[in-house]
Structure formats: C-alpha cells, structure tokens
C-alpha cells in the first residue's frame, strides 16, 4: 500500500466508474511520478496498467493480463491477510475487448476500495458484494449464479442506499414496486421471485448486523407479499405420446431426452450429466448433475476436469458449465429401473454417436456424455438448451402450457395414482427426508401401495412407449 500526504483536489473531467473527478494517464506508476512536478495533481493519477484509484490519500492498485484462451484476468490489491500479514490480491476473469477489460478493472478496483470505507457510509450494494464474497463459497454453483442474477437485476434499485438508512417502510415500498412493475418491460414480477429477493435482502442485512454496520435487521419485519404456489397440472399420457411422436419424426436425441425424463422423473440437470457408463442392464445410475455457475478461480479449482467455459454471460460476469460430483443432495444419488424401450433409445443414440466419431477418426469412449456438444463426447450440452428445444417441440403439437419439468410431475403423479408406494416414488425422484418432500408436493395423488421398483418403469413405459422404428428391408 502506497501513501502520500498530499491534498486531494478536483480536476476537470469525471470518471463515471468511481464517481469522482480524476485524471487518467497511460504508463507505469513509477514513471508517472517523475512527470508530475505539481503535487496537487498526483493524488488524482489513475494509470491503466497497472491500475490505481486514489481515495482518501490511499492508493489501491490493480493489474490485468490476457490468457492464451482469450480471457482477461483482473487482479486487485485488497489489503493484508489478518492472520499472516501478507498482501492479499483478489482476482476475477473477464471476457471482452481490452477497453472493456480496462473498465471492468476500474470497477473492480473501486469495488475493493469501497470495502475500506467506514460502516456508516457503506451502501447496500457494497454490503451485497461483501456478503456474496463471504458466503458464496459454501453454495452450489447454480445457487451462487442465481443469487448473482438477483443482485445484478432485482436489487439494483437499493444498491446506492446507505445500509444504515434502510428501514422497514423502505423495504415494503420496494417489494410493492417489484410486484407492480419489477418484471421485464415494466410487467409485474412474480410473487415467488419477490419472495426469493426478500430472502437475499434479509440474509445480507443479517450479516450487516453481525459486522456492526447497523444495530438491527429491518428485513425481519418487512413484508414481501403473499403468493400462491402454482398448482401441479401434469400432462396426460396421451399428451406425452404426442410429444414422443413429434420428436420421433425429426430429432432422435430430443426423443431420447424426453423419453428418459418421462420415465425416470429425473431433474433436467441430472439427465444432462448422464454418461453412457451410467447405464447397466435395465438400470440407469444418477450420481451427478450439470449446472451453470459463475466463472471464477475458485470454481475452476474446485471442479477441475469437469468445467467448461461458456460464451453466455450473466450480467457482467462470464459463466461456465460445471459437472457437479453429485446431484441436488446425497439422497439424490440413486439407481433407477429402466424399461427395455428406453434402454433401446439410448443404445441407438450411442450407435449414432460412435458412427459420427469414427467418420472423424475418433474413438468414442464409454464414459462420453449421452447428450454431447462435440464429436468426441467430452463436452455436455448446456442444461437450458433442453428447455428451449422442448419449448419448440411442445408448440408443434399445441401443448403450450406443458413445461419440461412437468414430465417429472407426470412420473410422480402417475405412479402415486396407480398405487405405487411413497418410498419407491421418492427414491425414483431423488427426494430426501424419507418421502416427506414427495408427500408434501403430491399428497392428493396418493392412493395405495405397490412395492416393485421395476414395475414402476414398466408401468410408465406402457403408458408412453416411444413409437417403434419403421421396419427395415431385412425385417
């Protein structure tokens, strides 16, 4: 940390990033110090590489470099480690042009320098960033990404408010505005989304109390409004057959995905992570999930070898496709009985991929992804791609209200209504709590008991059996 006992003065021209009057000069800091003989200008010097922001006579430095992959790495000095006393550098990755990276570095430096401000002057936006940094390491990548989406979107209106000045009435008015016009294009924001936003506000302000930024948590008494959970309306077996027929005509890969969803009831993220090695004799093992997370050095380290950078961004930050070593929770790891027709679809998809790989001079490994984005099967298709493809499929058959996730409801309700016992259904869906979650969601579909897991697969297969392939000349 460099300190100068010099007066801070204003200079014409403003910097919109740091919201103060500063001068930008290219060149390293040691050279610039010899150029300025007027000491009143030096505190406003902001070099580009390395980068420094002068605030309250203290310099916070930053730098950046370009990786061979085309990703910029931004680094900012963030003080000293409280245990070792060694210098601490924060870093994050960025995709874009050099000019865009310069702006991102300036924002990153300002973000870190704001963390040193006295508690009464700190804003809610600063609190959110500090809270996110402190807590997100314990979350799954998808939870961190979804929380970041709310911070960058729904909570922008509170970002500039001083933490100490936010009251219960302020939050009530904010939630009411979200419900009225907080959605896209000024449309109302769903009550469930407002409730999730409130949870983030409450947890962040709870942390502010712990850190001594304010004495109480107004979110504990604020009212985000009530909302009714959407009623479960699973598609009928006939609806699922129509989806099968439409997919069979044009897209074998999509047919396989929909058939597995309609038989196993697995989550989208679980199906997207399937490898051919997960399939046995009449069974499929679900032990991983595929999620979208924020591209960060921590995620790169934690999920090394199961991490793929993505071109899609969420706000200002790049994202990555991440293969988690297990699904939603420990109880979600399971082996499910699979019918012969569903197993045949998977085998046919494997044969197609092997032929395509051989045409390119590649040997397809056994553990390649079932739903792969490249010829060698080493990179999976992004999970949300299946939602988009399913949306187009349902539109073709006039089922505009059926969602991909409703096929999971179809599995649960069909089995429960036919008398399959609760434990079997919960095990098939990957629900924890010994079936309590399953009962809470689908209690009005429970009828009786039928304990055979294989019978559940046969029942679903008989209801929505995919169309048989047309006979060949040899047949």
The pTM is what? 0.69
User: Does domain 117-229 correspond to CATH entry 1.10.1200.10?
Assistant: no
pLDDT in tens, 72-127: 999 998 777 766 778 888 889 999 999 999 999 988 887 776 655 556 788 999 99
- C-alpha 133/C-alpha 91 separation (Å) is 12
**Start-end of CATH 1.10.150.130 domains in the chain:** 117-229
CA nearest to 333, candidates 296, 286, 279, 398: 286
pLDDT score at 398: 95
Q: Which residues contact 62 (CB under 8 A, 6 or more apart)?
A: 50, 51, 52, 74, 75, 76, 77, 105, 108, 109, 112
Whether 45 and 52 have beta carbons less than 8 Å apart is answered as yes
**Start-end of CATH 1.10.443.10 domains in the chain:** 237-288+326-464
Looking at domain 237-288+326-464, its CATH architecture is Orthogonal Bundle (1.10)
pLDDT score at 446: 62
pLDDT in tens, 154-210: 999 999 999 999 999 999 999 999 999 999 889 999 999 999 999 999 999 999 999
Whether 161 and 171 have beta carbons less than 8 Å apart is answered as no
DSSP state, residue 155: T
């Amino acid at each position: 940390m460099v300190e100068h006992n010099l007066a801070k003065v204003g200079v014409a021209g403003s910097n919109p990033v740091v919201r103060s009057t500063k001068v930008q000069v290219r060149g390293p800091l040691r050279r610039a110090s010899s150029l300025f003989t007027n000491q009143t200008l030096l505190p406003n010097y902001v070099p580009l590489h390395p980068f420094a922001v002068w605030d309250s006579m203290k310099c916070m430095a930053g730098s950046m470099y370009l990786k061979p992959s085309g990703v910029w790495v931004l680094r900012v000095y963030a003080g000293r480690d409280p245990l070792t006393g060694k210098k601490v550098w924060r870093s994050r990755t960025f995709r874009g042009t050099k000019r865009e990276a310069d702006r991102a570095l300036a924002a990153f430096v300002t973000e870190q320098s704001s963390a040193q401000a006295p508690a009464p002057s700190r804003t809610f936006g600063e609190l959110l960033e500090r809270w996110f940094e402190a807590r997100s390491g314990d979350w799954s990548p998808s939870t961190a990404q979804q929380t970041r989406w709310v911070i960058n979107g729904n909570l922008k209106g509170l970002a500039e408010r001083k933490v100490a000045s936010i009251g219960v009435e302020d939050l009530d008015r904010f939630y009411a505005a979200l419900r009225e016009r907080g959605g896209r294009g000024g449309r109302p924001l769903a009550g469930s989304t407002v409730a999730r936003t409130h949870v983030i506000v409450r947890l962040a302000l709870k942390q502010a109390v712990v850190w001594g930024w304010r004495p109480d948590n107004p979110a504990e008494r604020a009212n985000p409004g009530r909302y009714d959970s959407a009623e479960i309306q699973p598609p009928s077996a006939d609806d699922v057959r129509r989806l099968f027929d439409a997919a069979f005509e044009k897209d074998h890969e999509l047919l396989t995905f929909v058939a597995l969803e309609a038989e196993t009831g697995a989550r989208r993220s679980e199906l997207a992570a399937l490898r051919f090695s997960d399939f046995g004799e009449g069974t499929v093992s679900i032990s991983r999930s595929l999620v979208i997370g924020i591209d960060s050095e921590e995620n790169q380290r934690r999920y090394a070898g199961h991490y793929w950078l993505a071109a899609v961004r969420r706000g200002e930050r790049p994202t990555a496709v991440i293969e988690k070593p297990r699904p939603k929770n420990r109880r979600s790891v399971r082996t499910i009985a699979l019918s012969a027709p569903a197993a045949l679809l998977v085998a046919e998809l494997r044969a197609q991929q092997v032929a395509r790989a051989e045409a390119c001079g590649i040997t397809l490994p056994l553990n390649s992804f079932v739903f792969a984005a490249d010829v060698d099967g080493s990179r999976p298709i992004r999970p949300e791609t299946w939602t988009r493809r399913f949306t187009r499929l349902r539109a073709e058959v006039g089922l505009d209200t059926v969602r991909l996730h409703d096929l999971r409801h179809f599995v649960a309700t069909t089995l429960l209504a036919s008398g399959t016992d609760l434990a079997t259904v919960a095990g098939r869906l990957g629900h924890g709590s010994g079936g309590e979650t399953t009962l809470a969601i689908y209690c009005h579909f429970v009828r009786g008991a039928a304990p055979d897991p294989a019978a559940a697969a046969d029942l679903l297969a008989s209801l929505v059996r995919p169309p048989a392939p047309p006979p060949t000349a040899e047949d």
